[in-house]
Amino acid sequence: MATDKIVLRGLTKQFEVKDRTITAVKAVDLSIREGEFVCIVGPSGCGKTTLLRILAGLETATAGEIQIMRNDPSKPLNSMVFQEQSIFPWMSVRKNIGFGLKCRGVNRRTIAEVVDRYLSMIGLQKFGEAYPHQLSGGMKQRVSVARAFANDPEILLMDEPFAALDEQNKIMLQEELLKIWEGSRKTVIFITHSIDEALILADRVIIMTSHPGTFKASIEVDLPRPRRIAELRSDSRFNELFTYLWSILREEVRKAKVSEGLTFRDEDEHDDHSRTLGDESKLVL
């Protein structure tokens, strides 16, 4: 299991804003093992979302190299779970979960089987024909997670998928995610601003600094699996790690505060879409 699934070398992303150049991600090096669950934690605007979007193929890097080892060329390389509501309002829950498979031309019967399996995994069997507007926020995000897993990619990219949820829902979804993941052991890169969440989920936590976004530290999370969230909270090792991570992160958060409010435009499909680097939710601790 020691093979490297993802290798990044000197990955850099710069945006041109008017006559200035902003470096969102700077010379990032990273190796992720096959089947590893990695959480990237950092203050708002540290470029972690940009990094994930590059890995997802939604942005192109300015410099550097990405290597992703493929085991099965018939599988998609990656599937992303987005932070904001991203399931298609015009598709039923079933259609949403099966979207990736449909795009890949998988036959209808197989899609139905896979969708059924994930529907029951996320406890939404009875909502298969429902449309997203009939679902709560937590249910929508479950569908979004199921859509990614159902696509059966080589790696899963998750961009603060639970950030917008209330506390109870968040815990339930974290538990469900752990359960699904433990059944598949896919390589996951999960972005979050919550140390708590990172420790609950990850095998390894990477801390990012802001302006420019680089990696500051990489910490192995040696908490045993399967993990139970309620027990973890009172675990002494968990608290030790929490304190340690916070001591590293604290300084970064303070630095990030100073340079907050930087806005720039990204050159994408849509000309009238600007992205604020500081629009990720505030660090909640």
Partner 1 sequence: MAERNSAVRDATGDNLISRARTEGATDEGGLAFRKQKRSRWSMGGHSNAVLGFLSPVVILVLWEIAVPLGLLDGRFFPPPHAIAGTFWKMVKSGQLFSDVYVSLYRIILGFLAGAIPGLIIGLSMGLFKPVRWLLRPIISATYPIPKLALMPLIILMFGFGETQKVITIALGTFFMVLINTMAGVLNLDKIYLDVAKNYGASRRDFYLRVALPGALPLIFTGLELGMGMALLLIVAAEMTGAVEGIGYRIWAAQAVFKTKEMFVAFILISLLGYIFAEALSTIQRKVIPWKSQ
Q: Pattern 79-118, binding to partner 1, x per CB under 8 A?
A: xx-x-xxx-xxxx-------xx-xxx--------------
Sole residue written with tokens 């990477």: 206
Q: In angstroms, give the least distance from the CB of 247 to partner 1.
A: 34
How far apart, in whole angstroms, are the C-alpha atoms of residue 273 and residue 266? 7
Stretch that binds partner 1, among 164-172, 201-209, 215-223, 277-285 (CB under 8 A): 164-172
209: helix, strand or coil:
strand
Residue closer to partner 1 by CB (options 273, 282) is 273
Alpha carbon 229 to chain centroid, angstroms: 19
* 133 sits near partner 1 (criterion: CB under 8 A): yes
Residue closer to partner 1 by CB (options 157, 205) is 157
How far apart, in whole angstroms, are the C-alpha atoms of residue 174 and residue 164? 13
Among 16, 65, 166, 240, binds partner 1 (CB under 8 A): 166
How far apart, in whole angstroms, are the C-alpha atoms of residue 23 and residue 214? 10
Residue closer to partner 1 by CB (options 12, 83) is 83
How far apart, in whole angstroms, are the C-alpha atoms of residue 181 and residue 177? 6
User: Could you tell me which residues come within 8 angstroms of residue 131 by beta carbon, excluding any fewer than 6 positions away?
Assistant: 89, 90, 91, 92, 93
How far apart, in whole angstroms, are the C-alpha atoms of residue 39 and residue 205? 5
DSSP 205: E
Q: Which two tokens stand for residue 45?
A: 């605007």
**Cβ atoms of 187 and 1 closer than 8 Å:** no
Q: In angstroms, give the least distance from the CB of 272 to partner 1.
A: 8
How far apart, in whole angstroms, are the C-alpha atoms of residue 240 and residue 279? 30
Among 60, 71, 74, 168, binds partner 1 (CB under 8 A): 168
Stretch that binds partner 1, among 22-30, 124-132, 241-249, 256-264 (CB under 8 A): 124-132
Q: In angstroms, give the least distance from the CB of 86 to partner 1.
A: 5
| Interface of this chain with partner 1, residues 49 to 68, rule: CB under 8 A | 56-58
Among 68, 112, 172, 248, binds partner 1 (CB under 8 A): 172
Q: Which residues bind partner 1 (CB under 8 A)?
A: 56-58, 76, 78-80, 82, 84-86, 88-91, 99-100, 102-104, 123, 126-127, 130-139, 147, 151, 165-166, 168-169, 172, 268-273
